[in-house]
């Protein structure tokens, strides 16, 4: 299957959909990769590097007209869409609401189109989430741009000439971009405050060293998918009053708030700009969607009459084109890897896959309806209440799983119903019968005490398996990774028991079983430490 990588033609766009590293991955998956000459120059990737990775350098007409699958960053122009191969496939950011006529052109060519902005924000799809990758870069780059425009230090300084106070940074919106900005600003030594309508992000803000600001009105702003929803008029007024008071004190403001399918909400009014100190900086990450600041001028740096600078760049990820291209290309590779589990020849559009179903817009030129919204993960108290209610229901009819649920909640009902199926019950009663026979009816030979000890061990083992299964089954899916690290202690006990069996007095069978137990427990311990190390690495700078 031939993959084509064209050069991005949008003015100022420096990114490219594949790097030499990701080209190698695509080739390992079984694809033949063709890339337009000069496609990666703006991101510091030269044609020679692509050729060394195994790609073929081609002209733009070949890329669009002969590729089975085209990978892009920005949405194609109508001219590009009109030249795509009949019945071809396209994976890119699309934003159909902002590109009138693009879908109609793609429909006319019978194209199958996957929009990267529609990849659902679920656990399994994190490695394919290009929006989060780009938002992470936006947040980091916003701090870099703010530092460039700000006329002082971020961190506090004590010098021979006197003391310099640290900069105070306010981040409006604590999503992926906001948290990335928070981490970068804290890393530079600034005092950071953050605000978000979603109270759930408070712990994340504080864990990164920020101060979380709140309004007195109790109203949830969680709109699902990591985004906020539109708030009430009373909440908005209280929010504006809070920002106006903060404006008098902060040096740098970074706004990141977005609502899917709408223009960016107005959060930083002109009165807040005028209340800021001369030399203060506002970086409006949402400038491309109209901006969160009332005075933002998209695409430029505007200095207000009071000396406040408002940065309205729309291309923050493109200003870090090398890493942006690498991360985006990796997201594409992960997506294609899932779609081609058995190699490129097995590439297909599987509408039963919730990632593909969530991202696909067109299939063979036919526009598909929006996918059903995933059921939200229940809170702990709600989950317990639901479980207690479900326990009162007698003999529920088995329910088929809908789709490929993740996190352990979506399919919990069906799974628990099968846990006590007739076969499981028969096996359970059979084991209980064997145990009862060994304990009460079986008579060992005189002087032979092994069955007694065996029954003691068997009883403890059976109880441990049953209790352990019940405990682990009830653990929230989000805690499975830390739970794996805890099993190291259990595996250590198994190793000790296995080593005790390896002695000269034990029989051959006991020695072999002891060695096997110690071997597999060692594997489990090594894996547990590896998982724990990766988990802890996420919290290190």
Q: Among all residues, which ones are annotated catalytic?
A: 121, 126, 129, 132, 227
Among 316, 318, 282, smallest CA distance to 301 is for 282
How does strand 360-363 pair with strand 309-311? unpaired
Tokens describing residue 519: 């071997």
| Bridge partners for 171 per DSSP | 194, 254
DSSP category for residue 97: G
Among 343, 321, 331, 400, smallest CA distance to 137 is for 321
Burial zone of 59 (CB within 10 Å; 0-12 exposed, 13-18 middle, 19+ buried): exposed
Q: Tell me the DSSP string of 521-541.
A: HHHHHHHHHHHHHHHHHTT--
Q: What are the b/e assignments for 334-365, b being 16+ CB within 10 Å?
A: bbbebbbeeebeebeeeeebbbbbbbbbbbeb
C-alpha–C-alpha distance, residues 359 and 355, integer Å = 6
- Residue keyed to tokens 């590009």: 80
**Contact yes or no for 30/343 (Cβ under 8 A):** yes
**Contact yes or no for 88/71 (Cβ under 8 A):** no
**Contact yes or no for 287/267 (Cβ under 8 A):** no
């Amino acid at each position: 299957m031939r993959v084509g990588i064209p050069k991005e033609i949008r003015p100022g766009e420096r990114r490219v959909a594949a790097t030499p590293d990701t080209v190698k991955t695509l080739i390992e998956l079984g694809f033949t990769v063709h890339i337009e000459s000069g496609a990666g120059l703006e991101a510091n990737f030269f044609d020679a590097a692509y050729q060394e990775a195994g790609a073929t350098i081609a002209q733009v007409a070949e890329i669009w007209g002969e590729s089975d699958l085209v990978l892009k960053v920005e949405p194609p122009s109508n001219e590009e869409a009109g030249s795509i191969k009949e019945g071809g496939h396209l994976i890119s950011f699309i934003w159909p609401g902002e590109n009138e006529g693009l879908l109609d052109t793609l429909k006319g060519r019978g194209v199958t189109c996957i929009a990267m902005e529609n990849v659902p924000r679920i656990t399994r799809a994190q490695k394919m989430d290009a929006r989060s990758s780009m938002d992470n870069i936006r947040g980091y780059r916003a701090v870099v741009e703010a530092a460039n425009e700000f006329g002082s230090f971020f961190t506090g300084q004590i010098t021979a000439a006197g003391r310099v106070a640290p900069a105070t940074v306010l981040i409006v919106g604590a999503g992926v971009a906001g948290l990335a900005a928070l981490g970068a600003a804290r890393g530079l030594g600034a005092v950071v405050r953050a605000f978000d309508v979603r109270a759930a992000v408070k712990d994340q803000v504080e864990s990164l060293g920020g101060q979380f600001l709140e309004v007195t009105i109790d109203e949830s702003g969680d709109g699902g998918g990591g985004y906020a929803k539109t708030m009430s008029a009373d909440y908005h007024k209280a929010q504006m009053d809070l920002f106006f008071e903060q404006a008098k004190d902060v040096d740098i403001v970074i706004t990141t708030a977005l609502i899917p399918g709408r223009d960016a909400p107005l959060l930083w009014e002109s009165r807040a700009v005028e209340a800021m100190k001369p030399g203060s900086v506002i970086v409006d990450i949402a400038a491309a969607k109209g901006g969160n600041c009332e005075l933002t001028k998209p695409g430029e740096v505007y200095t207000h009459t009071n000396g406040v600078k408002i940065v309205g760049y729309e291309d923050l990820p493109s200003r870090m084109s090398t890493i942006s291209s690498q991360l985006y290309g990796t997201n594409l590779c992960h997506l294609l890897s899932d779609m081609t589990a058995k190699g490129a020849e097995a590439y297909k559009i599987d509408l039963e896959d919730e990632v593909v179903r969530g991202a696909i817009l067109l299939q063979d030129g036919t526009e598909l309806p929006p996918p059903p919204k995933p059921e939200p993960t229940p809170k702990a108290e709600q989950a317990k209440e639901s479980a207690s209610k479900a326990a009162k229901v007698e003999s529920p009819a088995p329910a088929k799983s809908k789709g490929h649920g993740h996190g352990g909640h979506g399919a919990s009902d069906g799974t628990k119903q099968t846990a006590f199926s007739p076969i499981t019950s028969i096996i359970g009663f059979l084991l209980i019968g064997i145990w009862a026979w060994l304990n009460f009816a079986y008579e060992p030979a005189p002087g032979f005490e092994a069955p007694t000890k065996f029954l003691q061990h068997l009883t403890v083992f059976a109880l441990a398996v049953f209790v352990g299964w019940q405990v682990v089954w009830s653990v929230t899916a989000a805690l499975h990774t830390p739970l794996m690290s805890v099993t190291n202690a259990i595996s250590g006990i198994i190793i000790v028991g296995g080593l005790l069996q390896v002695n000269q007095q034990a029989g051959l069978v006991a020695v072999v079983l002891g060695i096997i137990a110690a071997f597999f427990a060692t594997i489990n311990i090594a894996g547990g430490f590896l998982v724990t190390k990766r988990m802890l690495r996420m919290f290190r700078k």
